[in-house]
Amino acid sequence: MSRVKLMISYEIEPSKREEYLTLIRELKILLNFDSLEDYSVYEVKGKPNHFEEIYTYKSVEAFENSDDEENERINILINKLSTLTNGHSTKYSTLFEVNSNKVE
């Protein structure tokens, strides 16, 4: 079973940093689904206010079904997060783990 990583990178306005960090702390508490193995946020070295969120899902199926698990508060926080970012700087990447034990 291959895991999936969803990575979202973006820049936030410097004046909104504290609001952003508060929002991320709450989001980390709420994102505790069975299908989500890990949720982490990193700041890019040497680039203040450039962040990357990394969602690690246990399987392709878990990733595909992840929208079904979200609750209203999470949706509110994610929408609020999008208002803090510089919209045209947001980049998404989805990575599928290569399973070296499986021959296809």
Give, in words, the CATH class of 4-96: alpha beta
For tokens 């919209």, what's the residue?
A: 87
Domain boundaries, the chain: 4-96
* 12 CB-near residues (< 8 Å, 6+ apart): 20, 49, 51, 84, 85, 86
d(CA 35, CA 64): 10
d(CA 81, CA 5): 20
Per-residue pLDDT of the chain (104 residues; tens, 9 = 90+): 789 999 999 999 999 999 999 999 999 888 877 778 999 999 999 999 999 999 999 999 988 887 766 678 888 888 898 888 876 789 999 999 997 665 44
d(CA 87, CA 83): 8
How long is the chain?
A: 104
d(CA 43, CA 10): 10
Sheet with 91-96, edge to edge strand ranges: 36-43, 50-57, 4-11, 91-96
Tell me the pTM. Answer: 0.84
